[in-house]
Chains A and B, each alone.
Chain A
Amino acid sequence: MLEVLDSIFLQPLMHLYSLVFAALPGGLGVGWRLVLFSVLINLVLMPVYHQMELHSRKTNAAKAAVAREVARLKQHFRGRERYFYIRTVYRQHGYRPLAAVLGSADLFVQILVFATVFRFLSELGALQGVPFGPIPDLSQPDRLLWGANLLPLLMTGINALSVLTYVENRAKRVQGWALAVLFLVLLYASPSGLVLYWTTNNLFSLIRNLLYRVSGQGVDARFVRSFERIASQH
């Protein structure tokens, strides 16, 4: 069953990544091709980000109202009574936790793309023994910081900064930072080629968030509009 799903959903994407990666100028070297590959994937995903932003803005007000009311009731009621009141709050706001999660298909698209990219890069033989700048071998951890790995730390720093620029809620910020630390632990000993991809990816997100903040409107929205304009001209 899993194999069938793999053949239907994952393999075509893996094949697509192979084609894109192979199409990048070979003269750049594997390291720069990885950076460029990360930027390309992010550009392709921009419309998805835009949809996510729209969806999130639309549901955030409703979610905030639900959260406020639930928090108020949680202060005063316990156990069974609290359960029934929270259920009523959900009912009055037409909120279904599962539907809210499953309804955001764009979220799953994003997860799918990143998961397959991860798999693609993990299986990429081109990393073996290839140096990139001060990194001696992209298939091994970088060991650039007196034996410690520099790229995962850089990736975490960028990720933490991205959380700071994107998330305004204090509790969610702490949650975001905790996740950044968790991924530092998980990815610390990964091949530096993989971490290079994620670092570029996170840097792209950070720039995107900063531009979003400065411009006051979605960079993705502008990108999508430009894309539509170009498409309509042809």
Chain B
Amino acid sequence: MICRLPARVESAALACACLLLAQPAHAYIDPGTGSALLYVVSGIVLSLYFSVRGLYYRAVDLFFRARFRDQNCEIAIHCEDPRYEITFLPVIDALQERGLDVTLFTMYERDETFPSLPGRVAHRAIPPGMVGYAYLNNLEAVLLVTTTPQLDVMTFRRSRRVRHYTIVSHALGESRYVRPFAYDYFDSVLCCGPILKANIRRMEGIRKLPAKQLLETGIPHWEDLMRRAQVSAPLGPQPVVLVAPSWGPLSMFEAFGTGFVAQIAKRYPVIVRPHPQMKVSQPDLYRQILALDGVTVDTARTPSAAMSRAHILLSDISGITHEFAFIYGRPVVIIDRKQAAGGLEGEVLGGDSDLKEQCKDFIVPTAPGEIDRITDHLSRVLEQHSVERVREARDRLIYNFGRGSQVAAQQIEDLYRTELARVAAEESAGGHGRGLLRRFLKAGRRLPSAS
């Protein structure tokens, strides 16, 4: 049987053994310089680690780098996922009306189930993920428009041959529930509303970044949703509840399970719309929702049909709450979980959501502890709802409500012309202008006059 000494005694014995066995040191450093040396060594190790890891990502980028002719375009639109097409399509239409051609890069194939694109729009399907970004990172264009944040942060890097990057809002956001550095490296942002604009400026101040162009745009696809809302069938007499939470750890399905849906269904007809991302990220929960009894489960590509039939929406932080309230003018109940910003930009901004505060009359926060009485809350909110309050908030919080796509197209054209004028100035000053103007003129097109 082996008898073990207490850990403290063992450690002391080990230290004594070290002292007894110690040999004269031939290291050319003394104890006082030790910490300095440690600093040097740790700095070198850290740098080596970063360099090696950076080399790996650079190698991947180089490996997939391919220069095709179709990488050259003037206005490039990058659509990462089908759910963002709804944002771009009205803008593309408006750009076509203005005589501007665009190239749409989608990170998915567009089959016949997708709406057809205007005739002069060039479409290129590129692979999703790193390969697709390796392609985009070598694009040649005057302007690139996207809804994907974190330019030059993760694998979506700036191409040296793209003059200007702009990001357009696909929902009413405030740069709070987005991942780190979401807007930091764009040249301009087509802002949905004043809160987003103010928060981006605040982040620029906190991070001492140069001021980017913040344009008052709005949300381009909302007029399309409005048109659909206007032509939809009138609401039935019996109130219908739409349950449409977000996905991931912040989702109310993740926090409370699906039991509360059955409770609501005892009093009201219920439509459940699981977030599309749940199918990918939470497949078990998604299957559980599809199997719910006594409710309608909606998995259509867009939520328009479900929203048009519902009198009230129950959700959490999902962007659908704003669409439902502002486009349909109907009330929303959100389960207000006091969630930590978890490394998101809101953590840097501090405080709580400004949008939540300013919309609380019609997007009514309810404590998570009230989930067992959620049906009573839904009834109360339905009774007290005022459409006027929604309209007043809408005019205050959203730029150019109902004409966002036209404004976006105008602003994109302005950005494009400004960049072209700069290219022309660089060319005439003997600069290279990255050869854009030469190719542009070679293509036999007239240089647009700078506005």
Interface residues in A108-126 (C-beta closer than 8 Å to B): 110-111, 114-116, 118-119, 122
Q: Do B24 and A76 touch across chains, with their CB atoms under 8 A apart?
A: no
Give B53's nearest chain A residue, CB to CB.
A83
Give A153's nearest chain B residue, CB to CB.
B19
Interface code A160-200, partner B: CB below 8 Å = 1, 0 otherwise?
00100000000010011001111111111111000000100
Give min CB distance, B13 to chain A, whole Å: 14
Which residues of chain B are within 8 angstroms of A184 by Cβ–Cβ distance? 19
Q: Do A175 and B154 touch across chains, with their CB atoms under 8 A apart?
A: no
Give B208's nearest chain A residue, CB to CB.
A92
Q: Do A201 and B22 touch across chains, with their CB atoms under 8 A apart?
A: no
Q: Do B33 and A114 touch across chains, with their CB atoms under 8 A apart?
A: yes
Which residues of chain B are within 8 angstroms of A100 by Cβ–Cβ distance? 43
Give min CB distance, A126 to chain B, whole Å: 18
Contact of A190 among B24, B46, B207, B343 (CB under 8 A): B24
Give B36's nearest chain A residue, CB to CB.
A107
Q: Do A87 and B25 touch across chains, with their CB atoms under 8 A apart?
A: no
Interface code A206-231, partner B: CB below 8 Å = 1, 0 otherwise?
00000000000000000000000000
Q: Do A115 and B29 touch across chains, with their CB atoms under 8 A apart?
A: yes
Contact of A88 among B24, B36, B153, B155 (CB under 8 A): B153
Q: Do A183 and B154 touch across chains, with their CB atoms under 8 A apart?
A: no
Give B46's nearest chain A residue, CB to CB.
A97
Q: Do B44 and A191 touch across chains, with their CB atoms under 8 A apart?
A: no
Report the separation of the CA atoms of residues A159 and B33 in the bound assembly, to the nearest whole angstrom. 11
Q: Do A77 and B153 touch across chains, with their CB atoms under 8 A apart?
A: no
Which A-B residue pairs are the 3 nearest by beta carbons?
Answer: A76-B343, A101-B43, A115-B28
Report the separation of the CA atoms of residues A44 and B55 in the bound assembly, to the nearest whole angstrom. 44
A53 at the interface (CB under 8 A from B): no
Which residues of chain B are within 8 angstroms of A172 by Cβ–Cβ distance? 35
Give min CB distance, B181 to chain A, whole Å: 5
A84 at the interface (CB under 8 A from B): yes
6 CB-based A-B contacts, threshold 8 Å:
A81-B154, A84-B155, A85-B181, A101-B40, A175-B35, A187-B31
Report the separation of the CA atoms of residues A29 and B15 in the bound assembly, to the nearest whole angstrom. 35
Given contacts A118-B28, A198-B31, contact A92 B207 (CB under 8 A): yes
B31, B54, B153, B342 pick with most chain A CB within 10 angstroms:
B31
Q: Do A85 and B22 touch across chains, with their CB atoms under 8 A apart?
A: no
Which residues of chain B are within 8 angstroms of A162 by Cβ–Cβ distance? 32
Contact of A183 among B18, B34, B36 (CB under 8 A): B34
Q: Do A118 and B343 touch across chains, with their CB atoms under 8 A apart?
A: no
Interface code A89-105, partner B: CB below 8 Å = 1, 0 otherwise?
00010001110110000
B39 at the interface (CB under 8 A from A): yes
Interface code A57-92, partner B: CB below 8 Å = 1, 0 otherwise?
000000000000000110111001101110110001
Give the tally of cross-chain contacts (CB within 8 A): 114
Q: Do B347 and A189 touch across chains, with their CB atoms under 8 A apart?
A: no
Which residues of chain B are within 8 angstroms of A34 by Cβ–Cβ distance? none
Give B45's nearest chain A residue, CB to CB.
A97
Give A148's nearest chain B residue, CB to CB.
B19
Q: Do A72 and B347 touch across chains, with their CB atoms under 8 A apart?
A: yes
Q: Do B153 and A85 touch across chains, with their CB atoms under 8 A apart?
A: yes
A155 at the interface (CB under 8 A from B): yes
B441 at the interface (CB under 8 A from A): no
A51 at the interface (CB under 8 A from B): no
Q: Do B40 and A107 touch across chains, with their CB atoms under 8 A apart?
A: yes
Give B16's nearest chain A residue, CB to CB.
A148
Q: Size band of the B side of the interface?
A: 35 or more
Report the separation of the CA atoms of residues A45 and B213 in the bound assembly, to the nearest whole angstrom. 52
Report the separation of the CA atoms of residues A202 and B35 in the bound assembly, to the nearest whole angstrom. 13
Given contacts A201-B32, A202-B31, contact A185 B47 (CB under 8 A): no
Q: Do A84 and B154 touch across chains, with their CB atoms under 8 A apart?
A: yes
Give min CB distance, A122 to chain B, whole Å: 7
Report the separation of the CA atoms of residues A101 and B296 in the bound assembly, to the nearest whole angstrom. 63
Binding site for B on A (CB under 8 A): 72-73, 75-77, 80-81, 83-85, 87-88, 92, 96-98, 100-101, 107, 110-111, 114-116, 118-119, 122, 148, 155-156, 159, 162, 172, 175-176, 179-191, 198, 201-202, 205
Interface residues in B335-372 (C-beta closer than 8 Å to A): 342-343, 347
Which residues of chain A are within 8 angstroms of B19 by Cβ–Cβ distance? 148, 184-185, 188
B30 at the interface (CB under 8 A from A): yes
Q: Do B30 and A114 touch across chains, with their CB atoms under 8 A apart?
A: yes
B256 at the interface (CB under 8 A from A): no
Q: Do A118 and B54 touch across chains, with their CB atoms under 8 A apart?
A: no
Report the separation of the CA atoms of residues A76 and B340 in the bound assembly, to the nearest whole angstrom. 11
B23 at the interface (CB under 8 A from A): yes
Given contacts A98-B43, A187-B31, A188-B19, 12 further A-B contacts (CB under 8 A): A85-B153, A85-B180, A87-B50, A101-B43, A114-B32, A118-B28, A179-B31, A180-B31, A180-B34, A183-B30, A183-B31, A186-B22
Q: Do A101 and B39 touch across chains, with their CB atoms under 8 A apart?
A: yes
B198 at the interface (CB under 8 A from A): no
Give A191's nearest chain B residue, CB to CB.
B24
B37 at the interface (CB under 8 A from A): yes
Which residues of chain A are within 8 angstroms of B255 by Cβ–Cβ distance? none
Give B207's nearest chain A residue, CB to CB.
A92
Report the separation of the CA atoms of residues A188 and B29 in the bound assembly, to the nearest whole angstrom. 14
Interface residues in B192-240 (C-beta closer than 8 Å to A): 207-209
Give A181's nearest chain B residue, CB to CB.
B15
Give A189's nearest chain B residue, CB to CB.
B22
Given contacts A111-B37, A115-B29, A159-B31, contact A72 B209 (CB under 8 A): no
Q: Do B34 and A179 touch across chains, with their CB atoms under 8 A apart?
A: yes
Which residues of chain A are within 8 angstroms of B209 by Cβ–Cβ distance? 92
Given contacts A76-B343, A98-B47, contact A111 B33 (CB under 8 A): yes
Give min CB distance, A205 to chain B, whole Å: 5
B7 at the interface (CB under 8 A from A): no
Give min CB distance, B29 to chain A, whole Å: 6
Which residues of chain A are within 8 angstroms of B155 by Cβ–Cβ distance? 84
Report the separation of the CA atoms of residues A174 and B376 in the bound assembly, to the nearest whole angstrom. 58
B27 at the interface (CB under 8 A from A): yes
Give min CB distance, A77 to chain B, whole Å: 6
Given contacts A85-B180, A98-B43, A98-B47, contact A114 B29 (CB under 8 A): yes
Give min CB distance, B350 to chain A, whole Å: 12
Give A194's nearest chain B residue, CB to CB.
B24
